[in-house]
Amino acid sequence: MTSSDEIGLQKISQLSGALLDHDQLMTPVLQAQFGEVAARDVKHSFEDRTLLRQSSLFQRSTGQRVLDAKLEIFIDVVPEIIIQELATTEKLFGQLLIENAISTESHGRRIFAQALDEGAVIRWGRRLLLRRRTDYAVLCRVEELLVSEEKLHQLH
C-alpha cells in the first residue's frame, strides 16, 4: 500500500535534495551522480495530443534502478523526430532534447515524498512542467520518483 503525502523538505537527504531540487533536465544530473543511465520497462500510449510515457531509469554499470518517470509529452510542441524515437526506443527524453539542441526550463517544480509500507520507506520525487526556453511552450508534464534513500546511497 502506498500513500503520497507532502513531507517537510527538512527530512530530505542531501543526495535526494541534490537530485531533485534543481531546474535542469534530470538526465545530466543523474549522469553526473551515477554515470551512464538507461531507460527500461518503457510503456507508452497516445491520448489526444499527448504521448504518455512511463519508464524506469537504471544505472548502466550496476543494472540497478535509480528512478521511475512518468511523462505527458505534448505532440504539437515536441519535434516529430523526438516523438518517433520516444515511441520506438528506450532513449531518454532529456538526452533527445539535448541532442536536438532544444533549450528548456522547468516551471512549478514541486518536491514530494511517497511513503511505502506504513511510512517505513520513503521515496522522494518531483513534479514540474518542462517548457521550451525560446517561446515558453510546454513540452511535457514530468513526474520523477527516486528509489528509496537506502538504495540511492548504495548506488552512489
On the 0-12 / 13-18 / 19+ scale of CB atoms within 10 A, 136 is: exposed
Measured CA to CA in angstroms, residue 107 lies from 28, 58, 62, 132 at distances of: 18, 26, 32, 11
Burial 8-20 (b: 16+ CB within 10 A, else e): eeeebeebbeebb
Per-residue pLDDT, 142:
98
The answer on pLDDT for 10 being more than 60 is no
pLDDT in tens, 113-147: 988 776 567 899 999 999 999 999 999 999 999 99
Chain center to CA of 51: 15
Residue 132 near residue 104, CB atoms below 8 Å: yes
Q: Quote the pLDDT of residue 119.
A: 59
Model pTM score = 0.88
Q: Domain spanning 2-155: which superfamily?
A: Chorismate lyase-like (3.40.1410.10)
Q: Could you write out the DSSP letters of every residue in 71-110?
A: EEEETTTS-HHHHHHHHHS---HHHHHHHTT--EEEEEEE
Q: What is the pLDDT of residues 57-109, one digit of tens each?
A: 999 999 999 999 999 999 999 999 999 999 888 899 999 999 999 999 999 99
pLDDT number for residue 4: 40
Domain ranges of the chain: 2-155
